[in-house]
Amino acid sequence: MEQILVCMDIRQDADGPFPLLNQDATDDFLAAVYRAIHLAERIKANVHILLVIFQKSASSPADSLIGLEGEAKKHLELMIETARSNGVNVHHYIAKGNFEAEVIRFVTEKKITLLILGLPHGDSENSVEFNKTLNGIRQNVRCAIELVRRKEHLTRRK
């Protein structure tokens, strides 16, 4: 059976909130989850959703991690519940550490056949960092990788 992985890099620096709370990052991730679930319905695959949390500062409060886990689950809960009611086997995981290393480990451990990632919107700094991470993952996994870009809202013509 095919194994699909969707993952999100959640980083915290000493002063800033988790990027998951950034609406663009959440929307990009949810677009990838949506794609994975609908593909799994068609090909009868298992879906694994992985959130990787990385804290840059040891002085950051640990209880904010607990709050993040609850917040992340809220974003995914409805999609997962709907997928399961449609017969899709969905698993949700949270890992702490380096995103690239955790994704490579997870792909190998769970024998993932397709990795789906949401393309970041925003500044070129995010894109450069995303491409660097993507290249590192590509060099170390033996599965297909699909990049998903969320659809922009259509504007009405006058």
The CATH number assigned to the domain holding 71 equals 3.40.50.620
Q: Would residue 134 count as lying in a domain?
A: yes
Q: Which residue has the higher pLDDT, 107 or 11?
A: 107
Q: Would residue 156 count as lying in a domain?
A: no
Q: Would residue 158 count as lying in a domain?
A: no
Write b or e for each residue in 112-145: b if 16 or more Cβ atoms lie within 10 A of its Cβ, otherwise e.
bbbbbbbbbbeeeebeeebeebbebbeeebebee
Q: Of the candidates 48, 64, 68, which has an alpha carbon nearest to the alpha carbon of residue 7?
A: 48
Q: Would residue 153 count as lying in a domain?
A: no
Structure token digits, residue 39: 């593909």
Is it the case that residue 28 has pLDDT exceeding 70? yes
Q: Binning pLDDT at 50, 70 and 90, where does residue 127 land?
A: confident
Q: Would residue 45 count as lying in a domain?
A: yes
Structural domain span for residue 101? 3-148
Q: In this structure, is the dihedral angle defined by the CA atoms of residues 9, 10, 13 and 15, taken in order, positive or negative?
A: positive
- Span of 58-62, 77-81, 100-104, 132-136 with lowest mean pLDDT: 58-62
Q: Which residue has the higher pLDDT, 47 or 121?
A: 47
Q: Which residues, other chains included, contact 45 with Cβ-Cβ below 8 Å and sequence gap of 6+?
A: 1, 2, 3, 4, 39, 88, 113, 114
* Number of structural domains found in the chain: 1
Q: Binning pLDDT at 50, 70 and 90, where does residue 139 land?
A: very high
d(Cα 95, Cα 48) in Å, to the nearest integer? Answer: 13
d(Cα 8, Cα 68) in Å, to the nearest integer? Answer: 13
Q: What pLDDT score was predicted for residue 14?
A: 42
Is it the case that residue 12 has pLDDT exceeding 90? no
